Structure 1
Amino acid sequence: MNDVQTLAAQSQAVWEEWNALGVVERAALLNVWADNLSQRGDAFMDAASLIRFHLNQAESLLAPVHDMPGPTGESNELYTAGRGLFLITGDESLSVVSLAGQLAAVLVSGNCALLAPPNTLHHEAEALIGDLVKASAPNRLVSLLSSEMTEDAIVYAPICGVAAVANSATLIAMNRKLAARDGVLVQFVAEDNASQLPLVASPTYLLRFITERTRTINVTAVGGNATLLELGSGEH
């Protein structure tokens, strides 16, 4: 458990820096990551294609900032941000393509990650993280766990969500462990079709990894503000 907590803390330490980059800058860096991966051979080329798909979706779904003028003249901007630390995992049905697709969605949305693949994908996971660092992503943005650490991560790590590709029985077991955690509910993004990936490869998959925020800029006159404050105070 201590190892999981240490790795989680390392990823969280660079999360705010990554989240503050914004969608466009994160997507540009992750495109370099996809280029690096595409040079590794066929399996990684398919992974790179799914990464680029999510990056394109991010620029249309997540990057725009929406103006919402307020009734008193203030400017309200609605934008997206990451939520924090996600655990990305799966069973033996997890492929390098689905692993990369989940990781790309988590990262471009502004999150950091713990990666806990099955032992059969440990080497490929190392390659994903290595090429990500070569693309100038913050070191420890993604921390790699051994498969033996997965349960500790599900039960004890300070995660805000889990993304998993696995069979139905495994997903049900994971969901029960997450439900038994104390504190805030952890989001569970579960894919049980490892061959076709209808969820992981869907155009709106990214929306499961974001939160919405508003930024208010007060452009009203001082007198108007004073009137509002007076109306809000209400004498009794």
Structure 2
Amino acid sequence: MSKSIQDSNDQQSTSVIEKATSAWLTWNAIEIEQRITLISQWSELLKLQHSLGLLPGQMVDFHSLHAVPLISSGEEMPGPTGESNVLSTSGRGPFVIMAEQDAPIEAFIALVSCALVAGNSVVMAALPEHKDIISTLEQVCTFSDIEMPIIAVENLVSLEKVIVDPAIAGVGFVGSEAEAIRLNRELAERDGQIALLIVETDLEGLEMVRDQSLVLRFITEKTLTTNVTAVGGNATLLALGCGE
């Protein structure tokens, strides 16, 4: 490969990462209820695509329904000095979602939908079988004036180049165990943050993508601490110290 071609490929990968990161920051800032609403609209459009059938849209509905009680509200954790701590969830960042050619489309769409519900952006290959998946979500986002959270690259070769970038928070994969092992090694050898690998290799039973708590694999936890006491201490103890 010539240097000019290599530089061009590097520039394309950088552009994809920048778009995916921007989309993640915008999408993750949206309240979970709004994301669920947008994804529900997406699932309705998916069900109208004859090339896909009803199952992919139903899979999106299934995971959206079960995600609500898991990540929709924060958990209050009172602190020992009077501060308020709220534990909640957040998307991890851009996720690459990919599948082998003969993988069930409903398994692929399950990973995409869970990544999106959790607040992540998704990078995928613009393959013919993914055309309707991308175009229907694009319709929803255009109508709602929301930045598209799916970034499409030309092919699987381009997708492989993106995976090794440290900005990619994780990879979702549907396919053979041998390919899953190869991806795991590739992620382990890259620089930067540790990337998640979420795989479905049971192409008959789809045991992993049928898990009601699958969305939890795509989130990270965050804590908001609000300290309303004087000088960071317990206000009651401070008052007692003043002799009142």
Give the TM-score, by structure 1 length. Answer: 0.88
In the alignment, structure 1 residue 90 sits paired with structure 2 residue 99: yes
Gaps of 5+ in 2: 1-8, 238-244
For these two proteins, the number of residue pairs brought into alignment is 225
Alignment-derived partner of residue 36 in structure 1? 45
Contact 1:106–1:206, Cα closer than 8 Å, also in 2? yes
**For residues 223 and 167 of structure 1, do their structure 2 counterparts lie closer, same or farther at Cα, with a shift above 3 Å needed?**
closer
The alpha carbon displacement at 1:45 in A equals 1.4
Judge which range, 36-45 or 106-115, deviates more. Answer: 36-45
In the alignment, structure 1 residue 126 sits paired with structure 2 residue 131: yes
Query: Which among 13, 16, 21 is matched to residue 4 of structure 1?
Result: 13
Judge which range, 133-142 or 93-102, deviates more. Answer: 133-142
The amino acid of 2:98's aligned partner reads T
**For residues 101 and 223 of structure 1, do their structure 2 counterparts lie closer, same or farther at Cα, with a shift above 3 Å needed?**
closer
Contact 2:92–2:218, Cα closer than 8 Å, also in 1? yes
Give the TM-score, by structure 2 length. Answer: 0.85
The separation in 2 between residues aligned to 1:133 and 1:42, in whole angstroms, is: 17
Secondary structure at the residue paired with 2:113? helix
Alignment-derived partner of residue 172 in structure 2? 163
The alpha carbon displacement at 1:226 in A equals 8.8
The separation in 2 between residues aligned to 1:179 and 1:66, in whole angstroms, is: 33
The alpha carbon displacement at 1:42 in A equals 7.0
The separation in 2 between residues aligned to 1:168 and 1:200, in whole angstroms, is: 15
The alpha carbon displacement at 1:179 in A equals 1.0
Secondary structure at the residue paired with 1:68? strand
Alignment-derived partner of residue 19 in structure 1? 28
Secondary structure at the residue paired with 1:135? helix
In the alignment, structure 1 residue 190 sits paired with structure 2 residue 199: yes
Identity %: 33
Alignment-derived partner of residue 3 in structure 2? none
The alpha carbon displacement at 1:92 in A equals 1.9
The alpha carbon displacement at 1:154 in A equals 2.2
The amino acid of 1:192's aligned partner reads T
Query: Which among 80, 91, 97 is matched to residue 89 of structure 2?
Result: 80
